[in-house]
Amino acid sequence: MRINVFASMVAFAVGAVAIAVSAEGSQDNRADTFRQLELFGDVLSRVESDYVSDTDQAELIEAAIEGMLTSLDPHSTYHNPDSYEDLRVSTRGEYGGLGMEVTRRDDFITIVSPISDTPAERAGLRTNDKIIAVDGESIVGISVDDAVALMRGAVGEPVTITVSREDEDPFDVTLVRDTIPLRTVATRLEEGVPYMRIAGFNERTTEMVHEGLTELEDEYGAPLPGLILDMRFNPGGLLDQAIGVTDVFLDGGEVVSTRTRDPRDTQRYNARPGDRLNGAPIVVLINEGSASAAEIVAGALQDRERAELVGMTSFGKGSVQTIIPLRGGRDGALRLTTGRYYTPAGRSIQATGIIPDLQISAWPLDDSDEEHQPPEIASEADLPGALENENGDHRAETDIASVEQPPEDWSEDEDYQLHRALEVLRTTMESQQAALQ
C-alpha cells in the first residue's frame, strides 16, 4: 500500500506541475499526461510487489527521473543531494579540506602532490605517501571519491590521518581543515613569453585570470607584450565566468548571446570598456577537448578578431544548461538544457565546433597509426542523443592534408602545438612593435 500511496503522490505532484506549465494546452493533452503518470505508478507498484528481489523505492524513482532527463540530450541530468553538493563544490571554486591531490594505487590512497600553502604541505606530507586510515578507520581498498569525502569537511574541524611512508612505520598526523582553492588558472613565462593555462570555469576563474595577469606582469617586469591562452582539454563550466574571462581581453562589444525555445527570448552579453592587455596580441590554443565555456571564449575572441586560434577543431557543445535546485537543494537539482549560445557573429557551434585559424596537430596524423586514433567519443556530435545544429550544419571531416603536423624527427615529449603557438605570437608581437616605431 505504501508504494501505491507514494506513486500516487508522485503522479499528483508531477501532474500538477504539468497542468501549471501547460495552461494553454488542450484538455486531451492533460488527460494523456495523467494516463502516463498513472501508468508510471502501476509499473512502480508491480516492480515492488513482483520483482525477484527487494527493491529500493528511492533508487527506482531516481532512476526514472534520470531516464527521463537523459532521453532529452547528453547534458540534461538529475543530481541527487550528494551529487548536487559535489557539483556546488566544483563550481564554488573552494572547499574545506586538507589540500592534496590523491589517486589510488594498488588499493592504497596515495598522495600525488600536496598543494602549496595548505594543511597537507604545512604538515610535511609528501608525494607517494599512502593514507591508510582516516580518524582510525581503515580506507585501504576504498575509492578515491569515498576517501576524499572522509577527508573533506567544515573549515576549522580537525581530522587525523594515518600515513604509511616508505622505510618508516605508519604514523598519525592531525590536520585542521582549511579553505582550499580549486585553482583553474596557472601562469608562467614560457621561453620568455607570457603563458596562461585555463583548465575550467568555476566561480573564481575570472578573479584568478586577473590575478594571473598581475603575476605575469610582475614576473615579466613590464606590461605584457602578448599572451598564450591555453584552453586545450578545458571542459567548460559557468557561463558567467566565460563572459567574465572574455571581458578581460575585449574593449567592449558583444561576447555571446543565448536563445531559449522562444526565439524572441534572446539575451546578449557584452564586454565592458577596457582591455586588460591594451591590444597586445593573443594566441589561443584549443583542441577537440575544448568545450562549452572554453568555446564561448575562443569563439568570441576569434569573431572579434582579438586573437588567433591555433590547434584543432573544438568539441562543439553549443548548448546552455541551468541548475534548478529542488526544494532548495534538499532533493538535489536538475541540470537542464535551457538554451543555445551564439558567438558574436551569430554562429552556432553546436555539433560542429570552432575551427582554429591555424589547424595544427599535436602529433602526426596517420590513419594507420593505432596509437593516435581518435577516441570513440571525439566530439559533441558523437554523443548519443546530442542536439543537432539548428542550421543543419555538420562537423567537417578533418582534411589531414590541410593540417600542419609535427616533423618526423619531433620528440613526442615536446608540445608541438605550444611550440608553434609561441612562434605565431612572437611573429605577431614583432610586427606590432615594428608598426609602433
**Strand pairing class (266-271; 282-286):** unpaired
Round to whole Å and give the CA distance between 401 and 10: 57
Rounded CA-CA distance 170/205 in Å is 39
Tell me whether residue 317 is one of the annotated catalytic residues.
yes
> How far lies 35's CA from each of 17, 324, 340, in Å?
15, 27, 32
Q: Are the beta carbons of 337 and 319 closer than 8 angstroms?
A: yes
From the candidates 76, 303, 314, 319, which is the catalytic residue?
Answer: 303
Catalytic residue among 317, 319, 348, 379: 317
Residue with cell 567574465: 244
| Environment class of 4 (CB within 10 Å of its CB; exposed 0-12, middle 13-18, buried 19+) | middle
374/395 Cα distance (integer angstroms): 15
**Residues linked to residue 404 through DSSP beta bridges, in sequence order:** 360
Say whether 130 is catalytic: no
**What one-letter code names the amino acid at 119?**
P
Cell numbers at residue 363, please? 602529433
Kindly name the residue from 292, 314, 361, 379 that is annotated as catalytic: 292
Among the listed residues 135, 158, 344, the one whose alpha carbon sits nearest the alpha carbon of residue 258: 344
Q: Which residue, among 199, 262, 246, 239, has the nearest Cα to 321 in the 3D structure?
A: 239
Catalytic residue numbers read: 292, 303, 317
